Amino acid sequence: MRTALVTGASSGIGEAAARRLAEDGWRLLLVARRGERLEAMARTLPGASWLAIDLVEEDAPVRVATWVKGETGSLELLVNNAGASWRAAFGDPDGGFDNVRRTLALNFAAPVRLTEALLPTLRRSAPSAIVNVASVAGRIARPGSGAYSASKFALVGWSEALAGEERSHGVHVGVVLPGFVATEGFPHNGLRARAATRWLVSSPERVAEAIVDTGPGGRTERYVPRRFALVPALRLLAPRLWWRVSQRTGG
């Protein structure tokens, strides 16, 4: 049986990804901070195991790797999904370097450190895959989200380099770039209420399908929804227009 580890698995995209992978017969190793919620979810998935841990803690990668070794010893899929955003302009009292640092610590450093700890197991289990859940914000940036975009730009760039490095080891690396996703913390009710903007908002289940495409499916990257691939293209081909649009919609 193939084994997948999903971070941020207690809700939203992580939960949807775990349930989708379980449908395909994967054994799930679930990681998140909220132990009670994670345990309750694991009980609904056949053979799932869970570990409550904060991935920014210094010893978190070693603890997760030790746990994986004790649970199964093999790992065919790593889904780096855990992340967060604290929206603020850089010049705001709560938006300066401390905000950038904590966002990078969770959204970039944590998946890099976890991948480093699990890479030997992924190589031994090859063919295997890593899916890094980034964001459209990893291709374009808007006012008020500089720290988040910085973390996702870094994750996308590192992922692209890692993909080339690990190909010879049999480890595929894919990136998922969601746009707006309706979750309990970010329902996006305003966008969903208007017919003209409803298409902008995806569900965690649609992102889960993209994770399957870029992990077991071998895709290099997937935007969710797919039409969001046009946004970075607009930024590249019509920078002045994009600048005007982003200034009006940001902040």
Write the pLDDT tens digit of every residue in 38-93: 999 999 999 999 999 999 999 999 999 999 999 998 999 999 999 888 889 899 99
CA distances from 185 to 11, 33, 52, 129 (A): 10, 15, 20, 29
pLDDT higher at 174 or 94 = 174
Write the pLDDT tens digit of every residue in 84-113: 888 898 999 999 999 999 999 999 999 999
Would you say residue 199 has pLDDT above 80? no
Would you say residue 250 has pLDDT above 80? no
Band of residue 211 on the pLDDT scale cut at 50, 70, 90: very high
Separation between Cα atoms, residue 46 and residue 70, nearest integer Å: 18
Sheet holding 128-133, edge to edge: 49-52, 27-32, 3-7, 77-80, 128-133, 171-178, 221-224
Catalytic residue IDs? 148
Rounded to an integer, the average pLDDT of 136-156 is 92
